[in-house]
Structure 1
């Protein structure tokens, strides 16, 4: 009786174990959205990436590394691609972002990300506009910050602090902020339900 239970137990255990050659590993960070992104035709995948970041070089690197086993693999590839962007590539990426306090009309992404400015006073909005213009005159591009979760005051304080940076220092801060924004946008992309 013991041996029969032992055989039965061993049989049940082996039946539950997938054969490594035929069963794909299940990763806790896989999502229907990631599976869908991996399966997209190249033009559609490029369009989806362009909505996250306007840099052609960044999108090209992410496309070349598909398919991604996990969302974290996608984020890591994004960080690596961002680290290698040239000044010209960064300028292209920044061109896809509206000034803080002035989200693109009809663009729910920029409106959502800049939510902290939506309830700001007229005085704060006017100050932010002045600071944006001064920043743009100094650096030649919009002030860029990962605004998700920040208040209008925090964004104003950040531009006040950063306007004194050297162009080289500011370029690296912008690179870091773009990387954070890209991660948030990619997370939204891969969290979407699979589409028919």
Structure 2
């Protein structure tokens, strides 16, 4: 807690800002700058482009731009992620290409075609995607709980976490998916 008080009292100092960015991690420093921006402008809703400009004007080091090869790889990953085909039996659109985040030889993402990738690869891909969903659902539950406690004088926000009915609805009314998505 002493470090947090230190941050709060001295976060506008360029020396302290550089110290925190180097030794506490850029993520924590970014969170401090976001809070400083909200405090200075008195906003409860904001655009991160404005925060980035705010930080840059205060000496935040701009990131190294991606190389053309990195940008191209990102574009290919996006294209791979978006490729779908209709299932021959159900006519449901399925994702063709699936990713696995791998740290075996550094950090990288490997891609596999659902119709050709080995079972072990697809199991890992599906487990990673499910874990992302669980993580998102858990954080949503925590966030909704927080909002409901802070705004106890308002009608509580209810979020349903049983996705079975949603999946069945989409299976039976696929045209509604396009309108909603």
Note whether the superposition's TM-score is higher than 0.5. no
Greater fraction helix: 1
Question: Could you tell me the TM-score, scaled by structure 1's length?
Answer: 0.22
Greater fraction strand: 2
Compare relative contact order (CA 8 Å, sep 6+) and give the higher one, 1 or 2.
Answer: 1
Question: Could you tell me the TM-score, scaled by structure 2's length?
Answer: 0.23
